[in-house]
Protein backbone atom coordinates (compact mmCIF):
# COMPACT_ATOMS: atom_id res chain seq x y z
CA UNK A 1 0.00 0.00 0.00
CA UNK A 2 2.83 2.40 0.90
CA UNK A 3 4.46 1.67 -2.48
CA UNK A 4 1.20 2.48 -4.29
CA UNK A 5 0.81 5.80 -2.42
CA UNK A 6 4.45 6.67 -3.15
CA UNK A 7 3.91 5.83 -6.85
CA UNK A 8 0.78 8.03 -7.06
CA UNK A 9 2.54 10.98 -5.36
CA UNK A 10 5.54 10.56 -7.66
CA UNK A 11 3.29 10.54 -10.77
CA UNK A 12 1.46 13.69 -9.62
CA UNK A 13 4.76 15.47 -8.94
CA UNK A 14 6.24 14.50 -12.31
CA UNK A 15 3.03 15.51 -14.11
CA UNK A 16 2.87 18.93 -12.42
CA UNK A 17 6.61 19.54 -13.01
CA UNK A 18 6.32 18.59 -16.69
CA UNK A 19 3.28 20.87 -17.04
CA UNK A 20 5.27 23.75 -15.52
CA UNK A 21 8.33 23.08 -17.68
CA UNK A 22 6.09 23.09 -20.78
CA UNK A 23 4.71 26.49 -19.77
CA UNK A 24 8.26 27.83 -19.25
CA UNK A 25 9.47 26.81 -22.74
CA UNK A 26 10.06 29.34 -25.51
CA UNK A 27 7.74 28.53 -28.40
CA UNK A 28 8.38 30.09 -31.80
CA UNK A 29 5.33 30.39 -34.06
CA UNK A 30 6.43 32.03 -37.36
CA UNK A 31 4.70 35.22 -38.42
CA UNK A 32 2.72 34.82 -41.66
CA UNK A 33 4.16 37.97 -43.27
CA UNK A 34 7.72 37.63 -41.95
CA UNK A 35 8.53 34.05 -40.84
CA UNK A 36 11.86 35.22 -39.37
CA UNK A 37 9.81 36.85 -36.59
CA UNK A 38 7.46 35.16 -34.13
CA UNK A 39 3.78 35.84 -34.69
CA UNK A 40 2.09 38.17 -32.24
CA UNK A 41 0.41 35.89 -29.69
CA UNK A 42 -1.23 36.23 -26.28
CA UNK A 43 -0.65 32.69 -24.99
CA UNK A 44 2.48 33.11 -22.83
CA UNK A 45 4.85 31.50 -25.34
CA UNK A 46 7.91 33.18 -23.75
CA UNK A 47 8.89 34.53 -27.12
CA UNK A 48 9.72 37.88 -28.65
CA UNK A 49 11.27 39.28 -31.78
CA UNK A 50 12.03 42.45 -33.69
CA UNK A 51 13.89 43.54 -36.79
CA UNK A 52 17.22 45.16 -35.88
CA UNK A 53 18.48 47.04 -38.91
CA UNK A 54 19.12 44.17 -41.41
CA UNK A 55 19.03 41.36 -38.86
CA UNK A 56 16.76 40.12 -36.04
CA UNK A 57 16.65 40.27 -32.24
CA UNK A 58 14.98 37.07 -30.99
CA UNK A 59 14.27 34.96 -27.92
CA UNK A 60 16.48 31.90 -27.47
CA UNK A 61 15.79 28.56 -25.75
CA UNK A 62 18.94 28.83 -23.58
CA UNK A 63 18.16 32.32 -22.19
CA UNK A 64 15.28 33.30 -19.89
CA UNK A 65 13.60 35.86 -22.17
CA UNK A 66 12.11 38.17 -19.54
CA UNK A 67 12.65 39.16 -15.91
CA UNK A 68 10.91 41.93 -14.01
CA UNK A 69 12.07 43.73 -10.86
CA UNK A 70 10.19 46.32 -8.82
CA UNK A 71 12.37 48.73 -6.82
CA UNK A 72 12.10 52.34 -5.62
CA UNK A 73 8.74 53.05 -7.29
CA UNK A 74 10.06 51.81 -10.64
CA UNK A 75 9.64 48.70 -12.74
CA UNK A 76 12.67 47.20 -14.50
CA UNK A 77 11.61 45.12 -17.49
CA UNK A 78 14.42 42.93 -18.91
CA UNK A 79 14.20 41.38 -22.38
CA UNK A 80 17.10 39.02 -23.27
CA UNK A 81 17.89 37.13 -26.45
CA UNK A 82 20.25 36.92 -29.41
CA UNK A 83 20.90 38.89 -32.60
CA UNK A 84 23.03 38.84 -35.73
CA UNK A 85 23.67 36.57 -38.68
CA UNK A 86 26.69 34.75 -37.25
CA UNK A 87 26.50 31.31 -35.70
CA UNK A 88 26.34 31.35 -32.72
CA UNK A 89 24.43 34.62 -32.55
CA UNK A 90 25.49 37.30 -30.08
CA UNK A 91 23.65 37.88 -26.81
CA UNK A 92 21.72 41.12 -26.33
CA UNK A 93 19.44 42.50 -23.62
CA UNK A 94 17.32 45.56 -23.03
CA UNK A 95 16.33 46.94 -19.65
CA UNK A 96 13.39 49.36 -19.65
CA UNK A 97 13.10 51.32 -16.38
CA UNK A 98 9.94 53.36 -15.79
CA UNK A 99 7.91 54.69 -12.83
CA UNK A 100 5.22 52.34 -11.61
CA UNK A 101 2.69 51.84 -8.84
CA UNK A 102 3.61 49.81 -5.77
CA UNK A 103 3.20 46.11 -6.47
CA UNK A 104 3.76 43.08 -4.26
CA UNK A 105 3.31 40.05 -6.50
CA UNK A 106 3.45 39.01 -10.17
CA UNK A 107 -0.38 39.14 -10.21
CA UNK A 108 -0.18 42.93 -9.73
CA UNK A 109 1.37 43.14 -13.20
CA UNK A 110 -2.25 43.22 -14.37
CA UNK A 111 -1.88 46.99 -13.81
CA UNK A 112 0.20 47.04 -17.02
CA UNK A 113 -2.80 46.03 -19.14
CA UNK A 114 -3.01 48.32 -22.21
CA UNK A 115 -0.26 50.58 -20.82
CA UNK A 116 1.94 52.47 -23.29
CA UNK A 117 5.42 53.58 -22.23
CA UNK A 118 6.98 56.42 -24.24
CA UNK A 119 10.64 55.38 -24.37
CA UNK A 120 11.83 58.90 -25.07
CA UNK A 121 10.10 60.73 -22.22
CA UNK A 122 8.87 58.17 -19.66
CA UNK A 123 11.62 55.57 -19.57
CA UNK A 124 15.34 54.95 -19.20
CA UNK A 125 16.49 52.30 -21.69
CA UNK A 126 19.69 50.30 -21.24
CA UNK A 127 21.21 48.06 -23.92
CA UNK A 128 23.59 45.23 -22.99
CA UNK A 129 25.79 43.56 -25.62
CA UNK A 130 28.82 41.39 -24.82
CA UNK A 131 28.79 42.62 -21.18
CA UNK A 132 28.84 46.24 -22.37
CA UNK A 133 26.03 48.29 -20.78
CA UNK A 134 25.01 51.66 -22.17
CA UNK A 135 22.13 54.05 -21.70
CA UNK A 136 20.51 54.67 -25.06
CA UNK A 137 19.81 58.10 -26.46
CA UNK A 138 16.26 57.42 -27.61
CA UNK A 139 14.93 59.55 -30.46
CA UNK A 140 11.56 57.72 -30.61
CA UNK A 141 10.01 54.53 -29.34
CA UNK A 142 7.21 52.83 -27.47
CA UNK A 143 6.73 49.79 -25.26
CA UNK A 144 3.04 48.83 -25.39
CA UNK A 145 1.65 46.20 -23.02
CA UNK A 146 -1.38 45.45 -25.18
CA UNK A 147 -2.83 42.74 -22.97
CA UNK A 148 -2.02 41.34 -19.53
CA UNK A 149 -4.00 38.36 -18.26
CA UNK A 150 -3.75 35.78 -15.50
CA UNK A 151 -3.39 32.13 -16.51
CA UNK A 152 -4.95 29.56 -14.22
CA UNK A 153 -3.80 25.93 -14.08
CA UNK A 154 -6.16 23.56 -12.26
CA UNK A 155 -8.16 26.64 -11.18
CA UNK A 156 -5.13 28.18 -9.43
CA UNK A 157 -3.36 31.35 -10.63
CA UNK A 158 -0.15 30.17 -12.29
CA UNK A 159 1.33 33.17 -14.11
CA UNK A 160 0.66 36.57 -15.64
CA UNK A 161 0.83 36.65 -19.42
CA UNK A 162 2.25 39.92 -20.77
CA UNK A 163 1.77 40.47 -24.50
CA UNK A 164 2.56 43.55 -26.52
CA UNK A 165 4.68 45.39 -29.03
CA UNK A 166 7.77 47.60 -29.05
CA UNK A 167 9.69 49.97 -31.34
CA UNK A 168 13.03 51.58 -30.50
CA UNK A 169 14.89 54.26 -32.44
CA UNK A 170 18.16 55.46 -30.90
CA UNK A 171 21.43 57.14 -31.78
CA UNK A 172 24.13 54.50 -32.39
CA UNK A 173 27.86 54.62 -31.78
CA UNK A 174 28.36 56.15 -35.25
CA UNK A 175 26.01 59.06 -34.29
CA UNK A 176 23.37 57.86 -36.77
CA UNK A 177 19.97 56.35 -35.91
CA UNK A 178 19.53 52.61 -35.41
CA UNK A 179 16.13 50.89 -35.29
CA UNK A 180 14.35 47.99 -33.67
CA UNK A 181 11.07 47.74 -35.56
CA UNK A 182 8.01 45.49 -35.71
CA UNK A 183 8.77 44.19 -32.20
CA UNK A 184 6.37 41.88 -30.38
CA UNK A 185 6.53 39.91 -27.12
CA UNK A 186 4.53 37.28 -25.25
CA UNK A 187 5.84 36.33 -21.77
CA UNK A 188 4.58 34.13 -18.95
CA UNK A 189 5.68 35.69 -15.63
CA UNK A 190 5.65 33.91 -12.26
CA UNK A 191 7.43 34.77 -9.01
CA UNK A 192 10.43 33.02 -10.56
CA UNK A 193 10.80 35.84 -13.13
CA UNK A 194 9.38 38.61 -10.93
CA UNK A 195 10.98 39.96 -7.76
CA UNK A 196 10.89 42.96 -5.44
CA UNK A 197 14.10 44.59 -4.26
CA UNK A 198 14.11 46.74 -1.16
CA UNK A 199 16.84 49.12 -0.04
pLDDT of residue 17: 47
pLDDT of residue 174: 87
What is the extent of the structural domain holding 46?
A: 2-196
pLDDT digits (tens, 9 = 90+) for 17-47: 455 566 788 999 999 999 999 999 999 999 9
Could you tell me if 136 and 99 are in contact, meaning their C-beta atoms sit under 8 angstroms apart? no
Contacts 24+ apart (CB under 8 A), 76-80: 77/143, 79/48, 79/185
> N- to C-terminal Cα distance for the chain?
52
Name the pTM for this structure. 0.87
pLDDT of residue 86: 79
Q: Please enumerate in sequence order all residues whose Cβ is within 8 A of that of 45, keeping only pairs 6 or more positions apart, or say none.
A: 26, 27, 28, 29, 38, 186, 188
Among 181, 178, 166, 59, CA closest to 123: 166
pLDDT of residue 63: 95
pLDDT of residue 23: 74
pLDDT digits (tens, 9 = 90+) for 10-19: 444 444 445 5
Rounded distance, CA 117 to CA 156, Å? 30
Residue 66 clears pLDDT 90, i.e. is over it: yes
pLDDT digits (tens, 9 = 90+) for 140-159: 999 999 999 999 998 899 99
pLDDT of residue 18: 53
pLDDT digits (tens, 9 = 90+) for 67-95: 999 999 999 999 999 998 878 889 999 99
pLDDT of residue 31: 97
* Mean pLDDT score, 170-187: 95
| Total domain count, the chain | 1
Amino acid sequence: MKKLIFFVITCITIFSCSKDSELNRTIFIPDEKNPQLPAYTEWGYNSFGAMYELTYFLANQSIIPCKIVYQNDSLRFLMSGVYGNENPRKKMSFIFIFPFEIIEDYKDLMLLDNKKINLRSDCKTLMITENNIRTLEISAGELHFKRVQLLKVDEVDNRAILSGTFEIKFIGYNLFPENFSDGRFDFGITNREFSILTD
